[in-house]
Amino acid sequence: MKAHQFGGLFLFIIFLLNLAKQEIMGLEKFCQSCMLPKDHEMFEKGTEQDGTENGSYCKLCYVEGEFTQQETIKSAKDMQSFVKVMLKKQGVGKVKRWFYTIGIPRLERWNKN
């Protein structure tokens, strides 16, 4: 097997493991917009317009009944790009950035099925 084929196979295996992890953990354990784990120290529940907490979304994504950054984040792909930039600023490597964002399109906010 050539080096570039091995790299592709490796990424595919990582992809499958990530999907399996999400299925085992359940997507409900993540913010349904940005995929921040609800057990992460940065996670705070979003809020509705009346001030009550919304447990589906984090405060970084949902405040007072509205999604934040609606002008710049209009799709799952936009959110993936945004989260990858934030992770890169924190020193997270490329493969981990991909791993942490691959499930975003399957989250409640973006999954229109």
Exposure string (b/e) for 14-26, b if CB count within 10 Å is 16 or more? eeeebeeebeeee
CA angle 109, 23, 20 (to 5 degrees): 125
What gap in Å lies between CA 27 and CA 9, rounded to an integer?
25
Q: Is the pLDDT of residue 5 over 80?
A: no
Domain range summary for the chain, segments of one domain joined by +: 3-106
Question: What is the DSSP code string of 94-106?
Answer: HHHHHHHHTTGGG
**Would you list the DSSP string of 37-63?**
BTTSTT--EEE-TTS-EEEEEETTTEE
pLDDT at 88: 96
* pTM, two decimal places: 0.75
Q: Which two tokens stand for residue 80?
A: 């993936």
Q: How confident is the model at residue 81 (pLDDT cuts 50, 70, 90)?
A: very high
CA 113, CA 76: separation in Å to the nearest integer?
A: 14
